[in-house]
Amino acid sequence: MEFQFENFSSFLAMNGHGPYVWAAYGVALLVLVALVAVPVLRQKKLRQEFDRQLRQEEARRRTAKQREVQQEPVTPA
């Protein structure tokens, strides 16, 4: 088994069939990459959304606590 082409440019040209071969491989690989990227990106977005909600909850809890602290001097009076 050996490399079938003399140099890189003949590998790209593929005896005149280069455009077809490379277009087919290029588009196919693009679609395959997209197949991997779609769920990964979706997962990432979900995680970001989750973090955002978590921070919101945290912030809400903190302001609630602060309000409690502020209200404390008022209640005994």
Partner 1 sequence: MSWQWFHRLGSPRWFYQKTSVWLPWLGTASLLLLAVGIAWGLGFAPEDFKQGNSYRIIYIHVPAAFLALAGYYIMAICGAIGLIWKMKLSFVVMRAAAPIGAALTFIALFTGAVWGKPTWGTYWVWDARITSMLILFFLYLGVMALSGAFAREQSGDKASALLALVGTVNIPIIYKSVDWWFTLHQPATLKLTEASTIDPSMFYPLITMIAGFYLFYAWVLTLHTRSLILQREWRTQWVRELLGQSAPAAKV
Contact residues: partner 1, CB under 8 A: 1-5, 11, 14-18, 20-21, 23-25, 27-28, 31-32, 34-36, 38-40, 42-43, 46-47, 50-51, 54-55, 58
Q: Which is nearer to partner 1, 2 or 72 (CB)?
A: 2
Residues 12, 22: contact at Cβ < 8 Å?
yes
The region, left, alpha or beta by phi > 0 then psi within -120 to 50, assigned to residue 7 is beta
How far apart, in whole angstroms, are the C-alpha atoms of residue 4 and residue 55? 58
Q: Which is nearer to partner 1, 40 or 77 (CB)?
A: 40
Shortest Å distance, C-beta 65 to partner 1:
15
